[in-house]
Amino acid sequence: MFRTIFNRLNYLFSRNLSSDKEFRKVLSRNLRILQSSLNISIKNPTFYITALTHSSFLDLHPELPESNERLEYLGDSVLSMVTGNYLFAKYPNEEEGFLTKSRSLLVNRERLAVAAEGIGLQNIILYNQKYLRDSLEGMQTILSDALEAVIGAIYLDQGLKVVEKVIVNCLIKPLEYDDSFLTDTNYKGQLLELAHYRKLSPPRYLIKEEDGPPHNKKFTIEVFVGEDLMGVGMGKNKKSAEQEASRLALEKFNARN
C-alpha cells in the first residue's frame, strides 16, 4: 500500500512538480501517516497533498499546484451535509432552529481543531511558520481548515460513503455518548443576544491591560453593557479574554434574576 503511494508520488514529481528529493520524502511520509490515521487506501495523492498545503506554504514551494482553500470549501459542504443528516436522525422531534444551532456547535473551529489533532494533522500540514507567529488561534484555524480540506479530498478520492465514515469516527463518535457538543461556549454571542432581548445597548469591550512578550501575551479585557462594568476576563489572546469577560457578565445577569 505504502509502496503504491510512493510510486504515484514519483510519477507526480516526474512531471516536474518538484525536483527536491527530500521534499518528496516528506510528502510521502505525510501521506503514509494520513492514510494510516484515516484507515483508507489513497488513490490520488494529489488531492491530499493539496489538502495539507496551507496558502502560506506556497511562498516556500511555488511549484505546488495550489493551496487547500478550494478543497476546504468543498469539505465544509460535505461536513455540513453529513453532520446535518446525523442530527436530523438523532433528534427526530427537534425543529430547524435547534438542528441549525447544534450543527454549528458540532463543527465549530475549536472542535474541528481537536478532531484534526486526533488524527495527527498538526504534524503533517505544510505551512510557513512565519505565518503563525506563535499564535494559538492561528494554529487552530490552520488545523480546522486543513481538516475540512482533507474531508474534501476524501470525498473526491473515495466517495461519500467513505468520507461519511471518516467524519463519524473522527468528529461525531467522540461526542455521541452525551450531548456535550450542545453546550454553547460562544459567550460573547450569548451576551449580545441577551442585551438585544432586554433592549440594552450592545456590549462594549475595552482592553484594560496587555502584558507579556509577543510569544506569550496576556490580555485583560472589560465588558460594559451601557455604563455598567459587567465582567473582566483574562486570556492569552483578545478573543479568549472577551469570551471570559462575557461569561462572567452572563453570570452577573443571571444572578440578578
Annotated active-site residue in 76, 145, 157, 164: 76
**C-alpha span between 128 and 154 (Å, rounded):** 24
User: What size, in residues, is the chain?
Assistant: 257
- Pick the closest to residue 44 from 161, 155, 162 (CA basis): 155
SS3 state of residue 92: coil
Active-site annotation holds for 148? yes
Q: Would you call 211 a catalytic residue per the annotation?
A: no
Residue 195 and residue 104: Cα distance in Å, rounded? 22
Cell for 103? 450543527
Contact 91, 105 (CB under 8 A): no
- The one catalytic residue in 148, 157, 164, 244 is 148
Residues with a known catalytic role: 76, 148
